[in-house]
Structure 1
Amino acid sequence: MADRYAVVTGAGTGIGRAAAQALLADGWTVAVIGRRMDPLQETIAGQARGLAIAADVGERDQVEAAFAQVKERFGRLDLLFNNAGRGAPAVDFDELPHEDWRGVVAANLDGSFYCAQAAYRIMKHQSPRGGRIINNGSISAHAPRPGAAAYTATKHAVTGLTKQIALDGRKHDITASQIDIGNAATPMTERMTRGVMQPDGSMMVEPRMDVAHVGRTVAHMASLPLDANIPFLTIMATKMPWLGRG
């Protein structure tokens, strides 16, 4: 098809913005979803094929309304990049506040499920049917950081969600992928330039990579035909302490 339609969540800054802009550069029509309208408008500035929708992915009613707007405007959906998420301050396991646990679960897991389910419904019933869902996992889907119980648990759960979507979606030509990103230079990782806690208790400045590399990688995954898939892909700053973490 000449026209391809995508949704990118958490698209106001960082990885979501980089992915949305890479897709737009590749000719996609892109709906960007996030909590704040102004950053979303900045992401798609000057792009006639961009649509900004303010919504909190942790609120199911807002997700349903956002995807209803996408269906009404685009008529179909070929790609979801399930990117929106958050972390919590690093604390010892027994000191994690309930409100931080619930907030991370709502954004990272509930939000990923709500958006994937809404996208799946559109993809299942459209003609031609099918589509691709790419979930933002994280290096933390493989190995934890100190004091990050909520983030680590939700990112491991995203891996299970990815596998389930890929399995259930086969009969509908819906496929799912996961991109695990390590130390992209975004506002969320700015603290790494000042030093972050390591498993041995030391503080260390960690290398980061240009977030544009992540955007181009998402666009490449999205460019594949539906009979080909990259189920899991890791992109990371070469010298970050993951291989051998701890």
Structure 2
Amino acid sequence: MSKIALVTGAGSGIGRACALGLLKEGWTVALVGRRLDALQATAALAEQAEAGSGARCLPISCDVGQEDQVAAAFETVRQTYGRLDLLFNNAGAGLASKTPDLVSGEEWRRVVDANLNGSFYCLSQAFRLMKAQTPQGGRIINNGSISAYAPRPGSIAYTATKHAVSGLTKTAALDGRPYDIAVGQIDIGNAASEMTARMVEGVPQADGSMRPEPRMDLQAVVDAFLTMARLPLSANMLFVNVMATKMPFVGRG
């Protein structure tokens, strides 16, 4: 019987790539994101890659920053499949580089809603499902970031939310123990996706300069993610860091 996964932000980038990776390994995947057309495009790519994969996709339009929409999405999964084995809390947002005084309250709330509130809403709903189902339990993987360890200049909203996601991961991992719910986090640095395209031109460095940064192939992220997803619930990779080898992270800023 196919295991059931829900991937947020599945319409592009890391979410799409990891959803396709799960489908290739035989999972059934609920594709969640704001744009239904992008989710349908992911399902079409799955069908092209492997006949029949598209039938194991369930596109669900949902803004993860809206609690009622998240609840409705998880209820759709419950009614359709009866259980959930894996949540990939991947959806997120950021801002153009700017100092704190230039970040508006509206911009701040938009990033918090997408990265932190959305992660909590989805995690909360996953707990509810995983505690009630038989057999009990499941796995939750939160998408953190290298920014969960150290910020870039001009990234206060993004970095603050990613630090908070680490707290979410640690606490949920503890709370999930009695129910066989394993919670971990994948922290990604410079994966080649739409979100990091600007790095080829140059991004702000800690010394005030602008320099291009190397990126890694998206498949490296998929491979690390699938390693986490394949584990039995008796084992957990609490934090996994996968990054471009030559990115300027380790060392003096």
Query: Which range, TM-score by smaller chain?
Result: over 0.9
Q: Distance in 1 between matches of 2:166 and 2:110?
A: 19
Aligned equivalent of 1:33: 32
Aligned equivalent of 1:107: 114
List per-residue Cα deviations over 1:142-186 (Å, max 9, x = no partner).
000001000000000000000111101100110100000000011
Any residues of structure 2 matched to 1:134-213 within 5 Å, and which?
134-213=141-220
Q: Distance in 2 between matches of 1:88 and 1:245?
A: 25
Aligned equivalent of 1:4: 3
Q: In percent, how many aligned pairs have the same letter?
A: 62
2:126 counterpart of 1:127 = no
- State the secondary structure of the residue aligned to 1:3: coil
Q: Distance in 2 between matches of 1:57 and 1:30?
A: 17
- C-alpha displacement of 1:3: 2.2
List per-residue Cα deviations over 1:29-50 (Å, max 9, x = no partner).
0001000011111112122111
Aligned equivalent of 2:65: 58
- C-alpha displacement of 1:192: 0.3
- State the secondary structure of the residue aligned to 2:125: helix
- Sort the Cα spacing of 1:245 and 1:8 in 2 relative to 1 into closer, same or farther, 3 A: farther
- C-alpha displacement of 1:205: 0.4
- State the secondary structure of the residue aligned to 2:216: coil
Any unmatched runs of 5+ in structure 1?
none
Q: 1:224 aligns with which of 207, 231, 240?
A: 231
Any residues of structure 2 matched to 1:11-50 within 5 Å, and which?
11-45=10-44, 46=47, 47-50=54-57
Q: 2:76 aligns with which of 65, 69, 85?
A: 69
- C-alpha displacement of 1:140: 0.1
Aligned equivalent of 1:79: 86
RMSD (CA atoms) = 0.8
- Residue-pair matches, total: 245
Aligned equivalent of 2:95: 88
Any unmatched runs of 5+ in structure 2?
48-53
- Sort the Cα spacing of 1:167 and 1:193 in 2 relative to 1 into closer, same or farther, 3 A: same
Q: Distance in 2 between matches of 1:241 and 1:43?
A: 32
Q: Distance in 1 between matches of 2:239 and 2:20?
A: 22
Aligned equivalent of 2:221: 214
Which amino acid is the alignment partner of residue 186 of structure 1? Answer: S
Aligned equivalent of 2:51: none
Normalization by structure 1: what TM-score?
0.98
Q: Distance in 2 between matches of 1:3 and 1:189?
A: 33
